[in-house]
Homo-oligomer: A and B are copies of this chain.
Amino acid sequence: MNTWKEYQEQNKERFLNELLDLLRIPSVSAKGEHKADMLKCAEAVKASLLEAGADRVTIYETEGHPIVYGEKIIDPGKPTVLVYGHYDVQPAEPLELWNSPAFEPTIVDGKIFARGSCDDKGQMYMHVKALEILVKTNTLQNNIKFCIEGEEEIGSPNLGKFVAANKELLKADCVLISDTAMLSLDTPSMDVGVRGLSYIEVEVTGPNRDLHSGVYGGAVANPITILAKMIASLHDENNHITIPGFYDDVIISTDEERALMAKAPFNENEYKDELGVKELWGEKGYTTNERIGIRPTIELNGIWGGYTGEGAKTVLPSKAFAKISARLVPNQGSDKITEILINHLQKIAPLNITVKASLHHGGEPYMTPIDSKGYKAAAKAIETTFGKLPIPVRGGGSIPICALFEKELGIKIVFMGFGLDSDNLHSPNEKFNLENYYKGIETIPYFHKYFSEMF
């Protein structure tokens, strides 16, 4: 469709500048101090949907951050695509590791550096611009709905209630999400599964106050030492998780599935070099892609306790803390794993230590069928603009709301991601390649076209 390409060419600079404006809003959902920024960002998303031609654009308040809804219904009898995305971002810390400020988008070597550039403002905004193209060129053949939330990075605590209460509003034939990565522009791929999540925080308490480490060292258990022992015990010498029951519900992939996965291009040396490590690490008996895609993991996301300031303090602390998350695969249940994890930590703690553990958030693992209309339309769209069919891959990340959409709306999800694994998601110097941004905007209209033609 030359008119689409022409329209995009003519508006290229504006498409970029609008995204940069959106990236300037520090919409960090995890931090109370950004409450006003969250609202400002929701307002900006609303305005952009209206400008793109959407109707019924509304900000729905929740108990947390608001959800932005909008739609373009050309004919209720036509197929409907529900686009899901999120305008919230991860905290930008540690700030000192950014080469340019996280909320002052900077373009270097054709890459937009900013928190949220890829995850997910950049990818979400491709859909807003694709809508604009379809509307302005009068080529929209199906209905499009948008559900853009502000709590994805904190586990979408309020989306469930919203979806359950608005089933009619959100009614669609598939959910389209761009919040994942592809292998590369040369090797397009589509995620067919995402891992679930169970994210907890642990507080271990030893003595009732901080003590002098000389006067008491050797007399009482040090909570940091005990926490370290507890963490260390979670993996055995093969990096297999030791928690009883943890693997019970894991669906073991067949040899065929593993053989298919092994076909995705993967250069271990490049991968290691890019991460700056001499050796990879993980569960024995599985390849790196398998360990990320089809196996559950437990990661330490944070740890702190005692004196962490400048210099030395000879303290035997009262408390130590950790943030621990498990990535889950089908058919592990997030609630069940959270319970198993918390119970296990409490069980292995010695008598002289008190363990308090609580859930931050969770999400179910999800698999999408590659024979659905949505997957096929996306694959065909990518083939059109990239010149080759995407490889189906299992992603390591989590999009906690997938299981929710399927359960409440009874429809399948299509992951059409245009990011790259090297985009530094959740890390300093998050970036999104301009080429990927524009390629996404180019591809999405084809998805709608092919999807509507399948009915």
- The chain B residue with its CB closest to the CB of A421 is B215
B297 in contact with A218 (CB, 8 Å): yes
A215 in contact with B300 (CB, 8 Å): no
Interface centre among A295, A397, A429, by most B CB within 10 Å?
A397
CB distance from A265 to the nearest CB of B (A): 16
Contacts of A425 in B (CB 8 A): 212, 215
Partner of A323, one of B275, B295, B307: B307
A301 contacts chain B at the CB level, 8 A cutoff: yes
Cα separation A351 to B278 with both chains bound (whole Å): 6
B313 in contact with A91 (CB, 8 Å): yes
Cα separation A311 to B325 with both chains bound (whole Å): 13
A225 contacts chain B at the CB level, 8 A cutoff: yes
B426 in contact with A315 (CB, 8 Å): yes
CB distance from A57 to the nearest CB of B (A): 29
B215 in contact with A397 (CB, 8 Å): yes
A162 contacts chain B at the CB level, 8 A cutoff: no
A217 in contact with B292 (CB, 8 Å): yes
A308-325 interface bits toward B, Cβ cutoff 8 Å, 1 = contact, 0 = none = 111111111100111101
A162-195 interface bits toward B, Cβ cutoff 8 Å, 1 = contact, 0 = none = 0000000000000000000100000000000011
CB distance from A284 to the nearest CB of B (A): 12
A218 in contact with B306 (CB, 8 Å): no
A1 contacts chain B at the CB level, 8 A cutoff: no
A30 contacts chain B at the CB level, 8 A cutoff: yes
Chain A interface SS verdict (over half): loop
CB distance from A18 to the nearest CB of B (A): 26
Interface centre among A197, A220, A312, by most B CB within 10 Å?
A312
How many interface residues does A have (CB within 8 Å)? 101
CB distance from A343 to the nearest CB of B (A): 20
Contacts of A341 in B (CB 8 A): none
- The chain B residue with its CB closest to the CB of A211 is B427
A45-84 interface bits toward B, Cβ cutoff 8 Å, 1 = contact, 0 = none = 0000000000000000000000000000000000000000
Cα separation A428 to B320 with both chains bound (whole Å): 16
B32 in contact with A297 (CB, 8 Å): no
Interface centre among A153, A215, A299, A421, by most B CB within 10 Å?
A215
Cα separation A90 to B325 with both chains bound (whole Å): 35
A300 in contact with B214 (CB, 8 Å): no
A303 in contact with B305 (CB, 8 Å): yes
Chain A positions 262-294 with a Cβ under 8 Å from a chain B Cβ: 271, 275-283, 288, 291-292
A210 in contact with B301 (CB, 8 Å): no
A360 contacts chain B at the CB level, 8 A cutoff: yes
Contacts of A299 in B (CB 8 A): 213, 217, 222, 225, 314, 316
Cα separation A140 to B31 with both chains bound (whole Å): 64
A325 in contact with B314 (CB, 8 Å): yes
A233 contacts chain B at the CB level, 8 A cutoff: yes
A229 contacts chain B at the CB level, 8 A cutoff: yes
Asked whether A308 and B312 contact (CB < 8 A) given A291-B219, A297-B217, the answer is no
B275 in contact with A213 (CB, 8 Å): no
A195-236 interface bits toward B, Cβ cutoff 8 Å, 1 = contact, 0 = none = 101010100001111111111111111101101110111110
Cα separation A325 to B312 with both chains bound (whole Å): 9
Cα separation A350 to B277 with both chains bound (whole Å): 11
B310 in contact with A31 (CB, 8 Å): yes
Show 22 A/B contacts (Cβ-Cβ < 8 Å), sorted by A: A29-B311, A30-B309, A30-B312, A90-B315, A91-B307, A93-B307, A97-B210, A212-B427, A213-B327, A214-B398, A216-B396, A218-B327, A219-B271, A220-B280, A220-B281, A227-B303, A278-B352, A281-B350, A299-B316, A303-B308, A313-B323, A313-B426
Show the binding face of A for B, using Cβ within 8 Å.
29-32, 90-91, 93-94, 97, 153-155, 181, 194-195, 197, 199, 201, 206-222, 224-225, 227-229, 231-235, 271, 275-283, 288, 291-292, 295, 297, 299-317, 320-323, 325, 327, 350-352, 360-361, 395-398, 421, 424-429
Given A91-B311, A217-B325, 10 extra CB contacts under 8 A = A30-B309, A91-B313, A94-B210, A154-B312, A218-B396, A219-B281, A278-B352, A302-B308, A303-B308, A312-B360
